[in-house]
Homo-oligomer: A and B are copies of this chain.
Amino acid sequence: MDKKQRIIITMLELVVKQGVHATPMSQVAKEANVAVGTIYHYFETKNQIIEELYLMIAQDYGVVLMANIPEDNFKEQYKAMWLNLYNYFVGNPLAFLFMEYVAVPPLISKNIVSQSVPYIANIRDFFLKGIKEQHIKNVPVRLVLQMAYGDVVSAVRLKVKDELEMNKEHIDFAFQMSWDSLKIKA
């Protein structure tokens, strides 16, 4: 792994464990086996590393979310996306914790957040289609996006914080609840 990668990943690990401001550059340097000066060869500032991490992860799950979606059946498509995100977060707890605890304003500027918007444009389109075709409730799409994302996050939280076992059955419960909140009453 090249030094730039090592620096980024080390920063991610430390920042999630300790918080941004409790993580001095000197420590990042030491744990990445690199001199402090080297970090500044690859990055302008400490905050730029954080921003690069944010964009890396945001792009990451914009892609992950859309992988292996079935051809049709809206509910099954939603389920696939839901599980994609759940599994990504559970498999990458550092990414999850970073997004939850580190990537908050004013550390991450609105400007940086907006750079990651393209990644979710197609998710938005997916829900718009679901509304038009009357698979899900006719409510503002922004509300749907926020609730759906919130549901995944809730499930991941339980798992990551070790507050609930989250076996196959429990994951399914969580998904069922999420789907019930979206779907049009029968």
Contact = CB atoms under 8 A, between A and B. Distances in A.
Nearest to A101: B104
A107 interface: yes
B147 A154 contact: yes
A18 B107 CA distance: 9
A121 to B, nearest CB: 15
A25 interface: no
A139 B143 CA distance: 25
A117 B185 CA distance: 36
A147 B174 contact: yes
A45 B143 CA distance: 41
Interface in A11-27: 17-22
A84 interface: no
A134 to B, nearest CB: 16
Contact of A170 (B17, B143, B170): B143
A173 B151 CA distance: 16
Interface string A144-183: 0011011101110110000110000010011011101111
21 contacts: A17-B106, A19-B107, A104-B104, A137-B176, A137-B177, A139-B177, A140-B164, A142-B163, A142-B164, A143-B158, A143-B164, A143-B170, A143-B173, A146-B157, A146-B158, A146-B163, A149-B154, A150-B150, A150-B151, A151-B181, A177-B181
